[in-house]
Structure 1
Amino acid sequence: MSPLPDPHPASAAARIGTTTYVSSILPWRGCGSGAPWVGGNHASRTENAVSELVSNVAGARPLVWGGDWNHALTGREYAGSQGGRRAVLAALDTLGLEAPTATLPHAIEDLLSIDHVAVPLGIEATASRVSAQCDGKRLSDHDAYVLDVEV
């Protein structure tokens, strides 16, 4: 494994073999405009973060991008914004990625995951959710999202 420069202050990157892996936390609705977020509202903060990230990883192929994106990619949006979602979806398109986690449930009933893993288009990947619960108690407000990938 080789650590790489952070593509954004709220992201970390590493290369394993020829694959670059990036993990990001993207703005949530109540994050405010303090560092590392730039912009006057949630959508612009997400657009700025995603734009910086994309410009710094655009040449990395193959690329796997995941993390706490704070946006459902479909359905009701409760942690992010519709403008932020559009920025994330555009980034996936630009980077040639798809997020098999897009339709997985969130820990909150009737909501979809805001945590995602995206892989190159055409990669066969099955996503699953692992509950962060033990003995009926939540260990985190985030569950784990895992991909089983056909190589």
Structure 2
Amino acid sequence: MLIGTWNVNLRSSITSTPASDKAAWIQHLGVDVWLLAEVHADWRPRGRELIVSPERQFDPGKQRWAGIDTCLPHVPLRTAGDPEHAGEESLVLARLQVDDAKLPTVLVACSVLPWKNPGDLWPRLPGGGQAEKFRHILDHHVRRIDSERQDGEPLIWGGDFNQHLNRPFEGATVEGQKALREGFSFLGLLVLTERAEHLDPGMYSIDHLAVSSCLVAGEQIAGVHRPAWEGRKLSDHPAYTAIVGLQTPCGRDGAASS
């Protein structure tokens, strides 16, 4: 299974040239499961409906923080947590139906987490500093993912986390790094983008792909793509892809078991 994550930064009309170019780039890569950030509910990059997060409070229209695009059979998980929590609008979940007797389903989640100055784009964020806002959303997403997960079900979690896991930091925090590592650890995930490069040389990714250890054989680093079309960058974020598959039996929490 080829998985990928990309902040497509789709701020223009879905009928615009930039939106068409981004869709064309997504199509040519042949990814089975895309975890996409900053999308539009009506956008069809591969001709099918996106699974999208709930409405954004600053814009109760079609803009969405997160989306999942997959060619595999799936069930969108639209059950909501606390509808008043600021984290609800930036999380989307789905359950993939996998054609494998040993691996009937895989839970997939896509998140967007707060950055340094979210401002009016995230009106329900609590007071406090950057680290407190980040932790507030992160903890909610971890709880929601954990509550949806079935015993022994592997997990793929990706999106725009707006947080490096290694220095140097740019618009990130030490507290955010610690909190994100704790979240991945709690869910039993291996991070495939920890040392993947950002768009800027010398920086590490703030977008991440993390998967249950039973889906990975040995150490793996996600591939980095810097999408361009006719010489133009298509986003201010790189895209990241990785190949995963059932390598060992999954334990109760989706970790590899002997």
What is the 5 A alignment of 1:1-151? 1-5=74-78, 8-17=88-97, 18-32=105-119, 34-59=122-147, 60=149, 61-122=153-214, 123-124=216-217, 125-151=220-246
Give 5+ residue unaligned stretches, structure 2.
1-73, 82-87, 98-104, 247-258
Q: Do the aligned partners of residues 140 and 102 (structure 1) sit closer, same or farther apart at CA in structure 2, a change above 3 Å counting?
A: same
Mapped partners of 1:13, 1:78: distance in 2: 28
Q: Per-residue CA shift, 1:76-124, capped at 9, x if unaligned?
A: 1113221112111110010001111110111111111111110012423
Mapped partners of 2:127, 2:176: distance in 1: 12
Tell whether the 8 Å contact from 1:46 to 1:84 is kept in structure 2 after alignment.
Answer: yes
Tell whether the 8 Å contact from 2:93 to 2:108 is kept in structure 1 after alignment.
Answer: yes
Mapped partners of 1:93, 1:36: distance in 2: 27
- Which stretches of structure 1, 4 residues or more, deviate above 6 A after TM superposition? none
Q: Which moved more, 1:141-150 or 1:4-13?
A: 4-13
Mapped partners of 2:242, 2:124: distance in 1: 29
Tell whether the 8 Å contact from 1:105 to 1:113 is kept in structure 2 after alignment.
Answer: yes
Q: Per-residue CA shift, 1:48-87, capped at 9, x if unaligned?
A: 1111111111141311110000111112111322111211
Give the TM-score of the pair, scaled to structure 2: 0.55
Q: Do the aligned partners of residues 97 and 110 (structure 1) sit closer, same or farther apart at CA in structure 2, a change above 3 Å counting?
A: same
TM superposition shift of 1:27: 0.6
TM superposition shift of 1:136: 3.2
TM superposition shift of 1:15: 0.6
**Percent identity of paired positions between Structure 1 and Structure 2:** 29
TM superposition shift of 1:32: 3.3
Tell whether the 8 Å contact from 2:195 to 2:221 is kept in structure 1 after alignment.
Answer: no
Give 5+ residue unaligned stretches, structure 1.
none
Q: Do the aligned partners of residues 104 and 80 (structure 1) sit closer, same or farther apart at CA in structure 2, a change above 3 Å counting?
A: same
Tell whether the 8 Å contact from 1:38 to 1:49 is kept in structure 2 after alignment.
Answer: no
Q: Do the aligned partners of residues 111 and 95 (structure 1) sit closer, same or farther apart at CA in structure 2, a change above 3 Å counting?
A: same
Say which one has the larger Rg: 2
Mapped partners of 1:24, 1:148: distance in 2: 20
Tell me the number of residue pairs that the alignment of Structure 1 and Structure 2 aligns. 151
